[in-house]
């Protein structure tokens, strides 16, 4: 489940509308696309009618840049994914469609959204997909004997980022649940400065030499990558061959993503908070 500050097009017709848990959930459609929105202004997911598995929103394509760090994905070997936040299921559909060896657990705290995703956004009933209705932070805390190769944090509500998911204790738990070469990928809104600065500082505390960021042009979204599978900033160019393989397979600009990635310290004055520089 992501967040994009798109204004909804007035010509879109309503396919579904229901108030639930203090927010209005809507599914709207025009001739070309269908989208999931909260409270008539936050676009959570968007699907192309003629190609349901394609990633339409820019931030979703850039979240997939985390695949650059997964050797198993480039080699078509099995890998496990945990996603916190389902939305319309765009990322889940994409991974299941393109990676037959992928196994996914998706945690979503709103029981309505899996129903909406299956009915309106073609989320498949697939033995490789396990959807759990639970609080993401609590689920990770309880799953003490499970590990994942890729953990995607993309949990938003009508107010913005889900605070319990984008919190320092969650990063510590996520670090413990990553495999030996695992990658943690987060979608964060830079416009929420207090939260954004706290997230970047928290990641650097736990992954001091393996934290990279990728902006989304034209939007407030920042995609952050951390974990044992993420190389130091200077080493990211060594993945150029893997980027070309993924480009040929998925039709996205992985080489561009690789070149645009940078150190997280460009985003926030984290050195002062960590006592590494004077205030």
- The ranges assigned to domains in the chain are 52-273
The whole-chain average pLDDT of the chain stands at 88
Residue 140 to residues 80, 110, 225: CA-CA distances in angstroms? Answer: 14, 16, 18
- Top pLDDT among 144 and 259 is at 259
Active site residues: 154
Q: What's the pLDDT at 274?
A: 47
Which structure tokens are listed for 35?
A: 């989208």
81's enclosing H/E stretch is: strand 79-84
CA-based nearest residue to 121, from 45, 17, 42? 45
Tokens representing 274 are 């960590």
Tell me the CATH number for domain 52-273: 3.40.50.150
Q: What is the pLDDT of residues 67-109, one digit of tens each?
A: 999 999 988 899 999 999 999 999 999 999 999 999 999 999 9
DSSP letters spanning 186-214? EEEETTSHHHHHHHHHHHHHHSTTSEEEE
Per-residue pLDDT at 20: 78
C-alpha dihedral sign at 197, 269, 65, 205? negative
pTM of the model: 0.90
Residue 44: per-residue pLDDT: 87
**Does residue 21 register a pLDDT over 80?**
no
Cβ contacts of residue 260 below 8 Å, gap of 6+?
214, 215
C-alpha 165/C-alpha 21 separation (Å) is 18
The 10s digit of each residue's pLDDT in 148-189 is: 999 999 987 666 677 778 888 899 999 999 999 999 999 999
Q: What is the pLDDT of residues 24-76, one digit of tens each?
A: 999 999 999 999 998 866 788 999 999 999 999 999 999 999 999 999 998 88
- Residue 34 confidence (pLDDT): 97
Q: How many CB atoms lie within 10 A of CB 1?
A: 27
What helix, strand, coil percent values describe the chain, rounded to 5? 35, 30, 35
pLDDT of residue 193 exceeding 60: yes
With bands split at pLDDT 50, 70 and 90, how would you rate the model's confidence at 267? low
């Amino acid at each position: 489940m992501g967040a994009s500050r798109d204004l909804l097009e007035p010509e879109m017709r309503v396919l579904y509308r229901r108030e639930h848990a203090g927010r209005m959930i809507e599914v709207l459609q025009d001739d070309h696309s269908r989208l999931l929105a909260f409270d008539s202004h936050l676009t959570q997911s968007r699907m192309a009618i003629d190609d349901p598995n394609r990633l339409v929103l820019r931030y979703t394509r850039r979240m997939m840049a985390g695949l650059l760090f997964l050797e198993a994905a480039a080699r078509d070997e099995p890998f496990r994914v945990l996603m916190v936040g389902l939305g319309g299921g765009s990322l889940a559909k994409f991974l299941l469609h393109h990676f037959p060896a992928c196994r996914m657990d998706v945690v979503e705290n709103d029981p309505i959204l899996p129903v909406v995703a299956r009915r309106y956004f073609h989320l498949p009933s697939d033995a490789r997909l396990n959807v759990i209705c639970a609080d993401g932070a609590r689920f990770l805390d309880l799953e003490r004997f499970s590990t994942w190769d890729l953990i995607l944090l993309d949990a938003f509500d009508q107010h913005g980022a889900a605070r319990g998911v984008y919190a320092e204790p969650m990063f510590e738990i996520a670090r413990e649940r990553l495999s030996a070469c695992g990658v943690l990928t987060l979608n964060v809104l830079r416009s929420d400065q207090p939260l954004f600065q706290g997230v970047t500082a928290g990641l650097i505390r736990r992954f001091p030499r393996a934290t990279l960021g990728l902006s989304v042009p034209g939007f407030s979204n920042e995609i952050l990558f951390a974990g044992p599978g993420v190389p130091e900033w200077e080493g990211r160019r060594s993945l150029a061959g893997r980027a070309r393989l993924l480009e040929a397979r998925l039709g996205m600009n992985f080489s561009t993503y690789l070149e645009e990635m940078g150190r997280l310290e460009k985003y926030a004055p984290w050195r002062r908070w960590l006592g590494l520089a004077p205030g």
